[in-house]
Chains A and B, each alone.
Chain A
């Protein structure tokens, strides 16, 4: 494989593992719901094919075409529109949340698309206003106002995972974008965060429970701590080598959201520490590749875009790991490339497509050997 596409190795392996694990996790549910064991697998495979097409399209396209005011505005407007569509007639409700819109043959989750748009818009914004990033207004207030609108709409769905994920990406991009770190900014930020936590978590009984019981899930192992306890049991059962592919017992309806949010636990049970270490390794590999692409480009827009997209995926993976092993309260975030769930997979593959495009532009200008120039 050419160097251009070497980021595809970890991604390809992760997607392949995803196919295996989706099959392993959904065989039972699928059989119970649809009468055959392959329904979810086919749906997942279908998304992979669509995702590959989208990825190829973006990879052969020059990413710099995205560095355009109108592209950014159109994508932002599109995101906003899609988010609002969720609340209309074509919105789909499931598990008490309206996160999806109907899109034959499946559904689409706009909040995933919003993550992609946000990274793109921030990359455009930071490059464009690089000199003003130190000011409070340009560096902090404007970007957070825009992202905040998205977060507010997503809060209405609600999709807390997406809100957190958007917030983290924004902070990271503004951080490397060079905003001024003043103590009063940080203090104000923390205060705002605390207020938000109080309003949106503490006053919401089910989220409060999640936060409370993540500290000690065993206190109510059959009730509020159930999900986390089952996840911990799955890892515990896995041991070093795992119980073997398909041999999970935790998947017998013990593990909640098995094929989406808790698929990592299933990997832990079936493939053991060896398996989960490989997954960790693949994401680290992806992270190194992604940041390398960013660092190789001399185009600031490319740099921020590559960093943003890479971290969008890696932070989601880290949050997912942390949730399944009880380091963070449970919230619905899929594991990139692996979890079942078309929109996230599609968006992540689009991100990979853009990353390849950035890599290609680096190569075509013969800058491959010169990365030492800016990181020394």
Chain B
């Protein structure tokens, strides 16, 4: 009995101390209560909001980009799943260790990695890409290293654009950047159709970063494109162009094939070309789509413009006689313009067949500046064709006010004007189809992910340039070019009549500003079958070596392509070798 036994000062102290102790305990309880009140009432709103933020994170769901198909639904551009490696710098404790483990996997030096990661950690960054869209090797390494570096690095799946055919149709398709944004060609032009919609969602998550909702969602996928391009024809054109470039040690070549009736592009190729899957490795010149982005002086292929003009205006008939016996013609000062060979008196038909400069200059003069300019514009020169690709130019066409005394004459034979291969092809297609200038196009259908057709292109007639009659007359004239006595016998094929025209133009030497004596543009443009054209095709070879004439360089390419194309398309022969019509129409 403590208190009874020792009722002294100590006892009193003991009682006092018990009271002190109780007071302290109650004081502690009140402190706890006030802190709780502060947290739960006064700070309630702020803390709740802070807490809310960590339960969910904004997740950007990347959409599947649309597929690009050729006209027969063959895949030209698709998406494949790849792995990307990311880091969470803020959670890293030993950056050097992480860097040295990652370095061999992503093939980046450990120093660079560690300085990047240290920087990220300094910014308290919780997400940083280490390597995106890795190949299989890196991906396997990343999976392994991820398990060892839990929480600080991770792997996510991203879709990557993949071009299963590599180089095929490179200049048409274009490519995308690492974020699947279209940078060139169709990929860029139709980016907004194909990219789909990024979906931003707030996903609930726990502290381990696991999503609470089982999320298999993606963004809204993009639309797919159906092209007018035919994979097979594109392949034929590319192969033959590559062959020609090799044969003639040429700087480059362009080939465009189109349906002259509708303006649909069947094939469009440039040499040199590049692999779409590694666009960064390609040179700028390889990525250049000269079919539409570069203008050149067309030379003789341009002669159909003045020829069509004088016939349409009734100033000349195919049988009108022209005196070309001098072999040259004086034009508004300066040097006279010569023919390659001296010709005698020629019918107008023969003038075109033999590509007589002297004759066509006379025709141009008969037509006169104003009318000639109208036809040049009428055939679509000086304006973009409006094809649905990136970077098209309209060419260079001076208006008559800026013409010199020679311009009418030189332009009649395809000089002092800049055109694109596509513009020339379109003009010839107008002659092929009865005088209608078509708008060329490459995308025929935009297809939604659920396979509905959202947009459908239809052939568009820009204008009637010349009458059906004139067009027919011109076709007949152009047929003779590939026959005996014409400049392009090498373009003739078995079984079907070819109509076309050669072109050989000196290039302007950028150093001197004068025509180069060694650099030529050799071309051939035509259509087949001549009387019922299914295909028009232009071949342009830049700077061939060893030969320059369109008839020698470009015409054989044309023939090779056309022969294979007709077989490919199963176009019946209209005649056999003995001129017996097998199929009459």
Contact = CB atoms under 8 A, between A and B. Distances in A.
A163 to B, nearest CB: 19
B91 A222 contact: yes
A325 B36 contact: yes
Contacts of B18: 176, 291, 295, 307, 375
A252 B212 contact: yes
Contact of B29 (A268, A307, A318): A318
Contacts of B28: 318, 322
B25 A236 contact: no
A374 B3 contact: yes
Interface in A302-343: 303, 307, 311, 314, 318, 321-322, 325-327
A299 B206 CA distance: 55
B2 interface: yes
A233 B26 CA distance: 26
Contact of B22 (A237, A277, A291, A326): A291
Contacts of B452: none
B40 A273 contact: yes
A91 interface: no
Contacts of A299: 1
Nearest to B24: A172
Contacts of B15: 374-375
Contacts of A307: 18
Contacts of A311: 21, 25
Interface of B is mostly: helix
Nearest to B28: A318
B21 A268 contact: no
Most buried by A among B1, B3, B25, B33: B25
Nearest to B55: A249
Given A130-B6, A283-B29, A318-B25, A235 B1 contact: no
A232 B33 contact: no
B40 A250 contact: no
Nearest to B53: A233
Contact of A235 (B5, B26, B36): B36
Contacts of A234: 51
Interface in A168-218: 172, 175-178
A239 B41 contact: yes
B517 interface: no
A235 B47 contact: yes
A322 B39 contact: no
Given A254-B54, A374-B3, A236 B21 contact: no
Contacts, number: 127
A144 B32 CA distance: 29
A175 B14 CA distance: 8
A233 B47 contact: yes
B47 A321 contact: no
B494 to A, nearest CB: 77
A272 interface: yes
Describe A's contact surface by its main secondary structure. helix
B37 interface: yes
B43 interface: yes
B44 A239 contact: yes
A353 interface: no
A223 B338 CA distance: 86
A298 B32 contact: no
B14 A178 contact: yes
Contacts of A283: 29
A178 to B, nearest CB: 5
Given A252-B206, A327-B31, A272 B13 contact: no
Contacts of B29: 280, 283-284, 318
A253 interface: yes
Nearest to B47: A236
Contacts of B22: 291
A85 interface: no
B195 to A, nearest CB: 34
Contacts of A232: 39, 47
Given A233-B51, A327-B35, A375-B15, A240 B3 contact: no
Contacts of A276: 36, 40
B40 A235 contact: yes
A300 interface: yes
A134 interface: yes
A130 to B, nearest CB: 7
Interface string B94-128: 00000000000000000000000000000010100
Interface in A110-141: 127, 130-131, 134
B2 A236 contact: no
B1 A298 contact: yes
B21 to A, nearest CB: 6
A27 to B, nearest CB: 13
A318 B32 contact: yes
B48 interface: yes
A93 B25 CA distance: 35
Contacts of A373: 3
A238 interface: yes
Contacts of A284: 26, 29
B36 A273 contact: yes
Contacts of A295: 18
A130 B39 contact: no
A287 interface: yes
Contacts of A303: 2
Nearest to B20: A175
Contacts of A240: 40-41, 44
B21 A172 contact: yes
A300 B1 contact: yes
Contacts of B150: none
A253 B1 contact: no
B511 interface: no
Given A284-B29, A298-B3, A318-B25, A239 B17 contact: no
A236 B43 contact: yes
B14 A176 contact: yes
B121 to A, nearest CB: 11
A47 to B, nearest CB: 26
B9 to A, nearest CB: 10
A210 to B, nearest CB: 17
B456 interface: no
Given A235-B47, A239-B40, A273-B41, A252 B207 contact: yes
B208 interface: yes
A222 B40 contact: no
Interface string A353-376: 000000000000000000001110
A9 to B, nearest CB: 18
A185 B29 CA distance: 28
Interface in B45-85: 46-48, 50-51, 54-55
Contact of B21 (A175, A238, A326, A375): A175
A268 B33 CA distance: 12
Contacts of B13: 178
Contacts of A322: 28, 32
Interface string A140-161: 0000000000000000000000
Interface string A262-277: 0000001000110011
Given A131-B6, A175-B21, 11 more contacts: A239-B44, A240-B40, A240-B41, A280-B29, A284-B26, A298-B4, A300-B1, A318-B25, A318-B29, A374-B3, A374-B15
Interface of B: 1-6, 10, 13-15, 17-18, 21-22, 25-26, 28-29, 31-33, 35-37, 39-41, 43-44, 46-48, 50-51, 54-55, 90-91, 124, 126, 206-208, 212
24 contacts: A127-B2, A134-B10, A176-B14, A222-B90, A232-B47, A236-B48, A237-B47, A237-B51, A238-B44, A254-B207, A268-B40, A273-B37, A276-B40, A280-B36, A291-B22, A295-B18, A298-B2, A303-B2, A307-B18, A318-B29, A318-B32, A322-B28, A373-B3, A375-B15
Q: When A and B form their complex, which 8 residue pairs have the shortest distance between CB atoms, in order from nearest?
A: A236-B47, A300-B2, A252-B206, A253-B207, A233-B51, A235-B39, A254-B207, A239-B44
